[in-house]
């Protein structure tokens, strides 16, 4: 006897997706996670474009995490041209990323995930009963948006971010405004951690055989080296050696594995890796939580996002102080195009992002490859969905759909 359980449209996720679960004779036969957004051919569109145009194009891959795409693209361009980037520009990019993560994580936690755990169909339905909780989500998101606007030029697709740095740097009073906003947002993030730690997270999956994230001496979203949880370290130039992409016949996203296995990326992977490397205040906060890290429970990716916001806010305060000490500073260095290939990696809110470009002597792109978090998440989400069914074989169709959606939403694919 054959039975299908279909989730034809995953709600409260930032992409477009569906899930098909097939049983035969009451046994699981297959699970297919389908990302249904039409192909957009961004890598092909970059062909013959000048290096100055490439970041503008590829940032349109995602409106929520455009900063990550734009910066990863700039990193690859600067790598290809062997450009030296001053520390102040690097710090300003890190501060911009703080804004990106506050905006994206707040959106995910308060507007996509929280209704599941509070028993509502949407955040709008929560507003009457929990107005202050909803206002908190808006405030954290607004702080992130303001930081992105000050540094990037706009909240979405800011054109101030260019290869070599920034077209202009923030005014001194704008950096001071960011400092004040970060001081104000920290208590709201602390409350967010308490809220998401208060929920009971059922076990939904077995352990993840591999986890991947950028490796650094301290919690970092920018770097040149990658860490695998089996102890393997590799460089950004080796990314395509380790990450194997295959075309899926049922999804527009590619299917990625490492060493033939699905692998975890994103906030849970990062918090697990950096658990002993967080700043002192954040380490103390983690020790007070009822939920413990490291963990393999995918649903704790939600609490991980709140932890990341706290760490990044403290880092942001330090960055602002360093920038004010150096003010005024050079915001942009001139790049000199040359023939070659460059590589850029960055942690986007959803996971590790990879860009590679090859340029001719004039700085025109003649080849590109972009590996998005979505393309890397498909295999691990399918693994988790399979294990969810194995852990709860007694679920009826309605319960299965609900648990499956909550699980997928934890990844924010």
Total count of residues recorded for the chain: 413
> What is the C-alpha separation between 115 and 110, in angstroms, rounded?
8
**Are the C-beta atoms of residues 346 and 353 closer than 8 Å to each other?**
yes
- 304 touches 271 (CB < 8 A): yes
**Cross-strand pairs, 264:** 211
C-alpha atoms less than 13 angstroms from C-alpha of 102 in its C-beta half-sphere: 35
61 DSSP 8-state letter: G
150 is in an annotated binding site: no
State both tokens at 43.
């890598």
Neighbours of 64 (CB within 10 A): 18
For the chain, report the end-to-end CA distance as a whole number of angstroms: 32
Helix (H, G, I), strand (E, B) or coil at 387: helix
Q: How far apart are CA 326 and CA 314, in angstroms?
A: 19
d(CA 350, CA 179): 26
The answer to whether the annotation marks 62 as part of a ligand binding site is: yes
> How, if at all, do strands 255-258 and 225-228 pair?
unpaired
Which helix H or strand E contains 310, and what residues bound it? helix 301-326
390 is in an annotated binding site: no
What CA–CA distances, in Å, run from 23 to 3, 26, 28, 300, 409? 5, 6, 4, 28, 23
Q: Is 370 annotated as a binding residue?
A: yes
List, as residue ranges, the binding site for Ni(2+). Answer: 65
List, as residue ranges, the binding site. Answer: 43, 62, 65, 370
List, as residue ranges, the binding site for Fe cation. Answer: 65
List, as residue ranges, the binding site for Mg(2+). Answer: 43, 62, 370
């Amino acid at each position: 006897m054959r039975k299908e359980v279909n989730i034809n449209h995953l709600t409260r996720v930032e992409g477009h997706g569906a899930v098909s679960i097939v049983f035969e004779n009451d046994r699981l036969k297959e699970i297919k996670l389908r990302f249904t957004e039409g192909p957009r051919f961004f890598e092909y569109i970059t062909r013959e474009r000048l290096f100055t145009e490439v970041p503008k194009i590829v940032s349109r891959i995602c409106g929520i995490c455009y900063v990550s795409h734009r910066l990863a693209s700039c990193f690859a361009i600067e790598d290809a041209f062997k450009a030296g980037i001053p520390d102040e520009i690097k710090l300003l990019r890190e501060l911009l990323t703080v804004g990106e993560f506050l905006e994206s994580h707040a959106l995910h936690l308060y507007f996509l995930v929280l209704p599941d755990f509070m028993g509502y169909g949407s955040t709008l339905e929560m507003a009457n009963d929990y107005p202050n909780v909803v206002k908190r989500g808006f405030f954290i998101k607004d702080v992130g948006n303001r930081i992105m606007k000050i540094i990037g030029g706009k909240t979405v697709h800011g054109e101030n971010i260019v290869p070599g740095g920034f077209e202009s740097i923030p005014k001194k009073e704008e950096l001071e405004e960011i400092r004040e906003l970060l001081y104000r947002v920290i208590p709201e993030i602390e409350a967010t951690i308490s809220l998401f730690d208060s929920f009971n997270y059922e076990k939904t999956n077995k352990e993840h055989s591999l986890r991947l994230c950028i490796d650094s001496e301290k919690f970092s979203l920018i770097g040149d080296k990658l860490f695998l949880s089996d102890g393997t370290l590799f460089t950004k130039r080796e990314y395509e050696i380790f990450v194997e992409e295959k075309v899926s016949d049922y999804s527009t996203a590619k299917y990625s594995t490492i060493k033939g296995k699905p692998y975890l990326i994103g906030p849970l992977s990062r918090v697990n890796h950096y658990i002993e490397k967080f700043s002192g205040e954040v380490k103390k906060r983690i020790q007070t939580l009822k939920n413990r890290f490291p963990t393999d429970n995918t649903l704790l990716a939600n609490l991980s996002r709140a932890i990341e916001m706290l760490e990044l806010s403290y880092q942001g305060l330090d960055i602002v102080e360093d920038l004010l000490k150096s003010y005024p500073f050079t915001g942009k260095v001139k790049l000199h195009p040359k023939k070659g290939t460059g590589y850029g990696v960055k942690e986007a809110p959803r996971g590790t992002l990879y860009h590679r470009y090859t340029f001719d002597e004039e700085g025109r792109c003649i080849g590109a490859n972009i590996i998005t978090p979505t393309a890397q998440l498909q295999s691990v989400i399918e693994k988790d969905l399979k294990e969810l069914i194995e852990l709860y074989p007694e679920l009826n169709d309605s319960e299965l759909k609900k648990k499956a959606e909550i699980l997928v939403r934890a990844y924010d694919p």
